[in-house]
Amino acid sequence: MVYEKVDMVNISERPREADDRAVPGFWAGDLIIGQGNKSQLATSVDRSARFVMLVRIPYDRNAERVAYLLAKKMETLPEFFRNSVTWDQGK
């Protein structure tokens, strides 16, 4: 089954600065699932600086909750370091 998420931007539409990794503030995100699907951790890596942020996702891991917790963590960064997040869509 193929579906498109609402308001989702395709990776091909990512700004050029994110592709060449010359400018900080463009992030790659992924979700790590623990043993037995009992825990989860969101990871974000800045594509330029290679700075890593880890966000613990307690309880459920629905998209809204993960996005909210990741956004709260990103608010702790300086504004120039918050351009975009490209989320891994694979398994």
Question: Structural domain boundaries of the chain?
Answer: 29-87
Using alpha carbons only, what angle is made at residue 68 by residues 90 and 59, rounded to the nearest 5 degrees? Answer: 75
State the pTM of this model.
0.78
Contacts of 47 (CB under 8 A, 6+ apart): 18, 21, 26, 27, 28
pLDDT at residue 2, as a whole number: 43
pLDDT at residue 8, as a whole number: 65
DSSP structure class, residue 51: -
Using alpha carbons only, what angle is made at residue 67 by residues 2 and 51, rounded to the nearest 5 degrees? Answer: 110
Alpha-carbon Rg for the chain, nearest whole angstrom, is 14
pLDDT above 60: residue 3? no
Mean pLDDT of the chain: 84
DSSP structure class, residue 55: E
What's the pLDDT band for 78 if we cut at 50, 70, 90?
A: very high
